[in-house]
Amino acid sequence: MVQTEHELPIHQHRRRLLEGMAHAVAAKGYRDTTIADVVREAAVSRRTFYEHFDTKSDCLIALYEAASHNGLKVLRGAIDPNHEWQAQLESALSAYLASMAENPKLLRTLFIEILGMGFEGLAVRRRVNEAFADFVLTVANRGRSAGDEGEALSAEMAMAIVGGINELVLQYIEEDRVPRLQELVRPASQLVRAVTQQR
């Protein structure tokens, strides 16, 4: 039995609105998506939308954060400390890129539209990049053996890795090559190895 809007807990309304935004954007693109589209996809009222978000852009930002959180979850799930560091790296990158390739239109929206949302969009992008950089920093430094020469990876260089991989993905989005994102596993892993000085 399907629950009506009034029977759902508040947090379920928000989840459905984010899913509604994702479906609407995947079908029409962000520019052509309206709040009416979002609430129709979510099967909630316009009033419910405004109880959670002030604007369509607020909902997109929340979707961007949720999608990024899921990306981090995919990365964490693909890391197996029982395997050699290089295998962990390639497994994580492969899983992450595969998850992004599942919805090219949504991926394009999240990577492109967030850049056009001014300071607020840039701020959320920065927060997300910092979360990914923290993940890279933790995994890379944990993967170092006691006899490794050189310094541990710095926060700045971890951010450089995230930025570099983002630019590779963005290039594939711009060139309509999202279904081929797996091709980036090799150059992305080469970048990580070069920066972390792990061969």
The pLDDT of residue 61 is above 60 = yes
pLDDT tens profile 130-169:
999 999 998 888 766 555 566 788 999 999 999 999 999 9
Centre a 10 Å sphere on the Cβ of residue 154 and count the other Cβ atoms it contains: 12
pTM comes to 0.82
Give the pLDDT band of residue 123 (cuts 50, 70, 90).
very high
Concatenating the DSSP letter of every residue in 66-132 gives: HHHHHHHHHHHHH--TTS-HHHHHHHHHHHHHHHHHT-HHHHHHHHHGGGGSHHHHHHHHHHHHHHH
Cα–Cα distance measured from residue 30 to residue 60, given in angstroms and rounded to the nearest whole number: 8
Helix (H, G, I), strand (E, B) or coil at 149: coil
Which residues contact residue 29 at a Cβ distance below 8 angstroms, ignoring those fewer than 6 apart?
A: 105, 109
Strand, helix or coil for residue 135: helix
Arithmetic mean of pLDDT, 72-86: 87
How does the average pLDDT of the chain come out, rounded?
87
Domains (range + CATH), the chain: 1-53 (1.10.10.60), 57-196 (1.10.357.10)
Q: Which tokens hold the place of 126?
A: 């920065």
- pLDDT tens-digit series, residues 80-107: 888 887 888 899 999 999 999 998 888 8
Inform me whether the pLDDT recorded for 5 exceeds 50: no
CA dihedral 51, 55, 56, 57 (to 10 degrees): -120
Check residue 144 and give its pLDDT: 60
